Structure formats: structure tokens, C-alpha cells
Amino acid sequence: MNKHVKNGGLCALALATLTINIAEAAPQKKSDWRKFNFFSHVETLADASKKARKKVGTAPSYGVMASGEEDYLSLLASEFNYITPENVAKWGPLQPVSANEWDFSAFDSMLAVTQDNKQKVKGRALVWHRQAPNFVNEQVDAATLAQMIDNHITTTMQYYAGEIYAWDVVNEVMGDDANYRQSVFYKKLGKSYIADAYISARAADPRAKLFYNDYGIDSINAKSDAVYTMMAELIADGVPIDGIGFQMHLDAASAPSTEEMTANLQRFADLGLSVNISEIDVRISSLSWDDVTNLAIQQQVYHRAVNACMNVRQCDAFTLWGFTDKYTWIDGEFGEDDPLIYDDEYQRKPAYFGVADGLLRIEADEAGQLPNLIANGNLEIGLDGWSTWAGELKRTAFFAKNGRGGLRVKNRTENWHGAVYDISEVIKPAQEYDTSVWTRVLARNQQVSLSLMTQCDSEGAIYQSLDTVSPRLFRWSQITASFTTPDCDSLTASLYIEGPQAGIDLFVDGLTLRPKRLVPNTEGFGPNLIDNSDFEQVNHEWFPFGDPVLTITTDNAYSGSQSLLAVDRTETWQGPALDLTNIVTAGNSYQLFAQSLISASQATVKATIRVTCPAGDQYIGVGGTTASNTEWRLLGGLVTIPNCNFIEAVLYFEGPSPEVNIYLDDVVLHEAITQPINAVIQYSDFENGLDSWSAWGGDLQVTSAQAYQGTQSALLSNRTGTWQGPLIDLLSRVQAGQLININGYTRIEGIESNSVNITVKTLCAGETEQYQQLASVQATNDGWTAINGSLTLPNCQLEEVFVYFDGPVIDANIYLDEVTISTELLEDPNNLITNPHFEQDTQGWVTWGDANISQTDIDAHSGNFSALVQNRTAEWQGAVYDLLPKVTSGQTYQITAWSKISSMSTIEHNISITVKSRCEGDSELYNGVGAELINNLDWQTVTGELVVPECTLAELFMYFDGLPIGVDYLLDDVSVNP
């Protein structure tokens, strides 16, 4: 058949199908157009990527895959068509033992799953300075190292020839300073190893696509310029390189715009390269708004990144680095966050719809536009969030204003029947919002309204028409409106689209709901630390960072009548600055807000804190905003001051081009309020027995005769002394110097009333026993009485700690119920570990390889939580802590930690404390500094001694390893002290 005739036939079929659908043809005809790809519904990101003619990928964890977690595997199979192994294809995991041995078993297992799922695979990273085997070090001579690289590339790629679509051959060779990274490869071989690696790779598998991959190059900057120059040189030299992957581990507070990302991708594509977004996640912990707003901003960032890829024809893939917040490397590397598109429960987040919308060519919000709080407003994948009070909702691929999906409301029997979106969870009381929606009807002379339903507490619902339009036949019409929510608690609200006559179908697309302004979330933070933050006083402590001239001006003001103005800037980094040296504290967290205005139409204004530590300056981005000359824009962010003995800390505002003036107003800095961690070490309701309670005399038992709550309590009878009472041994659960709080309920039996006391017995080594009465109440036989008390334990080597309830005459029986004993965890000021008890999630801790670390309450040595290390696929994998910024060269430190195995196995295994160190210009060294046998029954202490090398350190990590593969373990109360 002539192909031109065939194409004409398809076009004719499409037109005929469109006509049939409008005319409401018989149901059996609908199957014709549903088979036509253009009009098929999009159900998954994989579907969307096919329509976009791009690949959509993720980087799965082999450990989670091997565990067989059903939800994880199901989404991995259905949502993605491109896979990059998170760790198992890296050099270290493939050659864990020696330069002559390879272990492909884990990667083989992962490939078996991807082949069943019909997913393409990109392997990574064949040559990388991190996660390289131990035998790749600076003791190896140049010739041997070059041979190792070639052997690894050749053996690995030939083994997988024909099975792997592409490889990241070389990874992250450019340093953050835009110079070649001083890795062992570069120091031994110069930059020639890069070209040689691609030459070896092409020879090993001529069909595989060969990529370079790097981070920090998501927009045009010094580092991306350096990488661009390198790529141009490689191409000019005839090096067989096919493309480049752009890692985008973005912070939502400072992510680049669509235009910035597009321009950068395009210039690399113009070199003749295939480009892809190879690793994306978007952190939101630095945002200062409520969770709903933060997630909506995250959606904007994902959407913009996908748009950038869609804007560049040579961008062939978009890969997420993981897909569920349950398993993300970000928590270990940057602290607790929610950077991915599914939440911990595998539910779609707004970011999911941002990716889908981008793939289906819906334009993302421009820089500076406040976020849309309607996650699924464009209706490209499913009807999440949508409902109807009457009628029938149907997805439509024929009638869509944006992208390829829309909503059709059928079987309407009243004018008010329409599409409903519940906004109760995304709005706040007494706030202003802008909203809009596109509507369409297939009849003349109809009216469509965008309406709002609100209800406060138990009051009746209020229905309000926001605006009404009369759509032209077969044309989309937009309704726009604004409203203010009622100032009440328990606010319920819905937007709904209504209005055509009964029986007429209503079409809806592109629903938006945007706050008129962002409201800072200051819960958990203290008062403003900045004096004269509104600049209403002429005298101020701000100074120019660089060349600017600062003045107090009445030309513009966000509040009051004055603001701060910086003019005559000569560099982008110059602007107004404030000395925070005597305001902030090392290791503490702060929240910053500021209103900004500029003299140009649009530019980014950023807040940065320069902290001068003994080891050098650190520049910490706090947040940014797209500022303009027409309205004030709120900038906000969170920052943690480095835990060093800093010399100076300076806050400054920067970003716009030098000729642009910066206005500031209402600058606010709040310190995070850190509450003492009250850790429950004993809770007894006696519903399941005595739970470690005993007595020094009398008969202690569980009884159902009386109970404060539940059905049981503890009863002590047959007492022969007033000092006898229910007691518990706390020695193994407390620490010297701790404050303990005891709360419970008591009553007596046998007499009408008498005293019941809380008494604590302590014994310090080498001293006599001490008894202290903490509380005394008058208990009765006709009701329960609350009793509570507190005590700071002696700061000594404790040998005994008992708490008991005594006091009444010997004829009285004592009942006890609902006893809670808690401690306040006391932080050692000399401990270099800032989160030793894991009560603040796993902040500061990371893992290497496939292993992951998470906070758990299944067991704890002290406090409420410990760390759980799981999914270990090599013995060297475990919990890791970076000590580099905190130690002193030549100093000796004592390491102590508590650990136990987290499984049912009764076999003991050794856990080791290992220190990885590297002096500048030297190779990495690994030293075991301590080890201990641990089991699953009791917490064991693990100790070691760290002697810091006397040199200029480039790396110093402490990690806990050595257990067999697959053995999970718990870690708690880690200390590193001089």
C-alpha cells in the first residue's frame, strides 16, 4: 500500500471519529478511536513519556527490590520505562574484592526484573572517584591504574553487551571550583583517562550509548562552562561520546527557571550531543511555608525541569533519583526531606502531576508565579481530587484545553450539577486566593459559573457564585475570580463548576487556585533577632557587601514608610549585609524572611550567609525569589549554621545584575526552638502483665478488680512494712546526671485513706545508698489519685537506681496504674556528633552503597528512637558520619556507641568502627579502630580510639560496618569525644 494513501486514511478515520463522538454514536463505535494513540487516555508516566517521545526513568534500590516490597515493585514496573541502577552497577559493588574478580550477581538480578518489565537500562558509573574499589588508590602506579580502568570497562561492558542501552562511562570529573577534580585518576593519569575510558567503552560494546554525567551543571554557571569546554574538546578530538546527563539534585528554594535550564541543555545539544536529565530530586526542607505550599512549589520545579527537557529535541530522557520518599538518599545526605513524587505510603504527590503535565507539553508556571494548590488541575492522569455532587464524571481525550486530558460531566439533571474539587486541605482561614478554570459546552446560550462552598465548624454551608461566563459554541472560555476564606476553625470548602441547563454536558480543564501571598510558617521558632528590621529608624547596623552604597529610603516600602536601598553594585554578589556573628549560634537552625524589590523588571534575589570557620569560608544559600520592580516579593528559607568555632557570620543579599538596585524591608530571622527531648523509658498500663515491676515484700500481681484505664492494674497486698511497694529497676535505662520524671495513678484498699509516696533509691560506686522521696499524695479507697515527681540523678558511676511507690500503713494494699517514667536526654557539649540519639531523625548521618538508614521506634538504648540500618548488600555498608569539619589534626578522640542486631537471628556478629581518612595529595586510608560482638537480645557498647592524622585533611569519615550481608542493625547514643 502507498504510504501516503495510508496516512490519508488515518487522518480521515480521525476526523470521522471526532464527528461520531460529538453526535453521541453507539457505544460499540467508541472502540475505534480508543485504539488511536493520540486519543488514548494517559494512565501512567510511562504512557505520558510515550506521547512525549521521551523516556521517563528512575533509579531503584537493589536492596528494596530484593526485599520484594510489592507496592515498590508494582510502581517501578508500571510508571517507568527507563532504569538506572542506584548503586549495583558502580565499580565498587562490581569489584568488591580484587582487580581480577567481578561480582555481577546483584546487577544480573536487577536486569532480570527490568527485562520482564521491558525497560531500557542505563548503567552507571564505570569510572567515578567515589564508590571505587579499595584497590583503586594512590599506591597504584599510573600504568597499573590505566590497565585497571580498561579491564573494568571492557569486562563489564562486554558481559552486558546487547543488554544495556547506555552507560555513564565517566562521572563527575569536574570539581565544584570548575577545575578538574583532583581524584586519583587525574593525579595519576591527567585528563587523558577520560578520553581513554570512552575509547575502551566503544570498543567493548559498539551499540551502547556512551554518556558523561555530572552535578551542579543544571544552568549556565562556571562549572557547566568548564564541562561544556571539556565536552567540546572531546568531540573535537574524535572521542566517541554520545551524550551528557545533567544531575539535578535541586533545592526548591533556589532552583533554576525553565528558561535557564533550557538554554543550558540546548548549548550542549548544539554540540551534537544527546542530553538528558539523569538524576532529579527536589528538596523542600529549606522552604519556609506550610506543607501544602511547599509541595506545590516542588511541583512547579519538577514541571519546569520536564519542560526544559521537552524544549530541547535532543533531550531523550528524564530520570528521577528514586521515586518514593520512603527510600531516598537525600535523607542521609542532606537531612530529612520529601524530595520525590510519591510519599512514604506510595501515594501520588503534587510533583507527580507536575512531571505528567510537563511530558504532555503543558507550560509550567513562570519564575516568580505563586504556586497552584490544585495538584491535578490539568487532568492529564486520572481524576485524583475531583468528584461530583450529582451527574457522572468522565475523562475525555477529545476536549482538552491544556495537554491531552480534560473532564466531562455527563447525565446532569439539574443546572447545579457539575465538577467539584475539595480544597479543604489546601486553604487557610482568612486568606485571599485567586482562582480560574477553563470551561466549554456543546450548546448555545448557556451560562457556566465557578462557585465556592464554605462551611465553618458545625454551621451551615454557604454557596457563593464567584463569576459566570457565557461560552461560545465549541470554544473554551476562562472564568477567573478571587475570594477570601472565612476566619474560622475546621473550615471545609470546595470549588465547583456548574451552570449549563440540565442534560447538557459540561467540559472542564485547567483549574487553578493560587494564594495572593505566601504566609510564613513560624511555628516552632522564636522571636525576631534583627533590630530595626523594618528600617523605620534611620540608624541601622547594615553595611555594604562589596561596593554598594546603602541608604534608608522613602521611595518604596513594604510596610511603614521606609526601606533599605543598595545602589552602585558592581558585581552580582554585592548587596546589603548584616553581621550575625553575635546573633547566631553554631549548630543551631534559623528561619529567614525578607521582602525584596528591585529596579529591573525581573531578576533573582538570593540570601546567603558566609560563615568563616577555622578551616575556611562556607557560603550557605538561605533562599531566593524572583523579584520585580512592580511588587514586593517575599524571600524565605531555612539554614543551619555550621557546627564550628566560627570567627564570623555575615548575611548578605545578592543575585541581580550589577546595575540593578536592591530594596529590602521587613527582614526577620527566627531561631528554631529546641525543646528538651523527653524520652519515655517505661510505660506501664499492666494490660499485658507486670512488665518488669516487682516488690521488696508482699505479693505483687495484676488484677482486674480496679483499673484507672483499660481493664487491669497492679496490686501489692500482704505488705509487712510501710516501705514496701511496687518497684522498678531503672539502672540500665538512665544515665548519670539525667532528670527523670515519674507520673502515675494510685489508690489503696483496706483503709479509707493514707499516704502513698514516690521514692527513689540510688547507689553511687564507693558510696552509701541514698533514698529520696519525690512526691506524696493522700490516696483513698474510693477513687484514683494522680501522683508525679521529678529527680536529677547523681552525676556519678551509678550502681543502683530503683523507683518505688510506698508509704501507707501495712494494712493497706496499693494499686498502681498508667505509670510513665521519662528522662530528659542530656547532650554532652564535647560530643562531636550533633544527633547522637537519633531523636532528630537521622540528620547528619548517611550510608554508603545500597544500605539505607532510618529513624525507628522499634527499640532504643535511650530516648524514644534509634537508627535502623537496612538493605546492606556488602559488608562495608553501614551508617556513616562525616567528621572532617569537627576534628583537629593530631588530636585523639574516644568513640562510643551502642548497637544490636535487628532480626530474629540469635547468632552473634562483629560490628566494626572504621575510619576512612585522606590527606590532601595522598590516597585514602581505611583503619579499623574498634569492634564488638553484638546480638539481637541486648544493647552492646562498641568503643574505639580515633587518632587524627597530622596533615591537611581532605576526608575523614567514621562508619559502622563488618556485619554479614543482609544483617540489619540498630545504632544509638554515638559519641566522639576528645
Q: How confident is the model at residue 965 (pLDDT cuts 50, 70, 90)?
A: confident
- Quote the percentage of the chain above a pLDDT of 70: 94
What pLDDT, in 10s, does the model give residues 78-122?
999 999 999 899 998 899 888 999 999 999 999 999 999 999 999
Residue 657 pLDDT class (50, 70, 90 cuts) = very high
26: pLDDT confidence band, cut at 50, 70 and 90?
A: very low
How confident is the model over 873-888, as pLDDT tens digits?
888 899 999 998 788 8
For 316-349, write each residue's pLDDT tens digit: 999 999 999 999 988 877 778 999 999 999 999 9
- The amino acid at residue 166 is A
Q: Give 93: exposed, middle or buried? Use CB within 10 Å, 0-12, 13-18, 19+.
A: buried
Residue bearing cell 576512612: 916
Question: Phi/psi class of residue 792: alpha, beta or left (left: φ > 0; alpha: ψ in -120 to 50)?
Answer: beta
Mean pLDDT value across residues 176-189: 92
pLDDT of 1 over the 50 cut? no
Q: Are strands 406-410 and 419-422 parallel, antiparallel or unpaired?
A: unpaired
- Inter-residue contact 246 to 306 (CB < 8 Å): no
Burial of 213 (0-12, 13-18, 19+ CB in 10 A): buried
Whether 827 has a pLDDT exceeding 70, the answer reads no
| Cis peptide leading into residue 351 (ω within 30°) | no
Closest CA to 848 of 976, 952, 955: 955
The pLDDT, as a whole number, for residue 768 is: 93
Rounded Cα gap, residues 974 and 941, in angstroms: 10
Per-residue pLDDT reduced to its tens digit, 782-797: 999 999 888 888 888 8
DSSP secondary structure letters along 545-601: ESS-EEEEESS--SSSS-EEEEE---STT-EEEEE-TTT--TT-EEEEEEEEEESSS
Strands 120-123 and 924-934: unpaired
Helix (H) or strand (E) holding 357: helix 350-359
Q: Which three cell numbers stand for residue 594?
A: 525578607
What pLDDT does 34 receive?
37
What band does 13 get if pLDDT is binned at 50, 70 and 90?
A: very low
Q: Indicate whether 11 pLDDT > 60.
A: no
Bridge partners of residue 120, in order along the sequence: 82
- C-alpha distance from residue 590 to each of 524, 586, 668 (Å): 10, 11, 10
Residue 62 vs residue 209, higher pLDDT: 209
What single DSSP character describes residue 156? Answer: H
DSSP state of 370: P
Instruction: Look up cell 464567584; give the residue.
Output: 466
**Do residues 670 and 660 make contact, with C-beta atoms less than 8 angstroms apart?**
no
Which residues are the active-site residues? 172, 279
Which candidate, 643, 665, 957, places its Cα nearest to that of 827? 643
Average pLDDT rounded to a whole number, residues 38-49 = 86
3-class SS at 848? Answer: coil
pLDDT of residue 824: 67
The rounded distance, in Å, linking the Cα atoms of 31 and 406 is 19
* pLDDT for position 35: 38
Matching residue, cell 442534560: 503
Instruction: Say how far apart CA 248 and CA 264 lie, in whole Å.
Output: 13
Phi, psi of 261 (to 5 degrees): -70, -40
- As given in the structure block, the three cell numbers for residue 878 are 553501614
Per-residue model confidence (pLDDT) at position 643:
77
Burial letters 825-839, b for 16+ CB under 10 A, else e: beeeeebbbbbbbbb
Residue 406: all three cell numbers together: 480534560
Phi and psi, residue 918, nearest 5°:
-150, 125
pLDDT of residue 18: 28
Name the packing angle between helices 70-79 and 105-116 (round to 10°): 60
As a whole number of Å, the end-to-end CA separation of the chain is 84
Q: What's the pLDDT band for 25 if we cut at 50, 70, 90? A: very low
Residue 581 pLDDT > 90: yes
Contact 879, 871 (CB under 8 A): no
pLDDT digits (tens, 9 = 90+) for 161-176: 999 999 999 999 999 8
DSSP secondary structure string, 679-741?
Answer: EEEEEE--TTS-TT-EESSSEEEEESS--SSSS-EEEEES--STT--EEEE-GGG--TT-EEE
Relative orientation angle of helices 70-79 and 45-52, to the nearest 10 degrees? 20
For the residues of 760-789, what is the DSSP string, one character each?
EEEEETTS--EEEEEEEEEEESSS-EEEEE
Q: What is the mean pLDDT of residues 600-628?
A: 89
pLDDT in tens, 740-758: 889 899 999 999 999 999 9
What's the CA gap between 151 and 149, in Å, rounded?
6
The radius of gyration of the chain from alpha carbons, rounded to an integer in Å, stands at 33
Residues 746, 749, 755, 758: is their CA dihedral positive or negative? negative
Instruction: Tell me the C-alpha distance between 838 and 846, whole Å.
Output: 12
Q: In the structure, what pLDDT confidence band is assigned to residue 674 with cuts at 50, 70 and 90?
A: low
Verdict on whether the full-model pTM lies above 0.85: no
- DSSP, collapsed to helix, strand or coil, labels residue 677 as coil
In this prediction, residue 16 carries a pLDDT of: 28
Phi, psi of 3 (to 5 degrees): -65, -30
| CA proximity to 214, closest of 236, 166, 176, 247 | 247
Closest-CA residue to 885 (of 616, 664, 662): 616
Reported as a pLDDT band with limits 50, 70 and 90, residue 273 is very high
pLDDT at 809: 94
Mean pLDDT, range 853-879, rounded to an integer: 85
Mean pLDDT of the chain: 89
Tallying the residues shown for the chain, one arrives at: 978
Degrees to nearest 5, angle at CA 222 with 221 and 227: 95
Say if residue 773's pLDDT is above 80. Answer: yes
pLDDT of residue 680: 64
CA gap 118, 110 in Å, rounded: 12
Q: How confident is the model at residue 679 (pLDDT cuts 50, 70, 90)?
A: low
20 has a pLDDT exceeding 90: no
Percentage, residues of the chain above pLDDT 90: 64
User: 5 pLDDT exceeds 70?
Assistant: no
Strand partners of residue 810:
none
Q: How many angstroms separate the CA atoms of 710 and 687, rounded?
A: 7
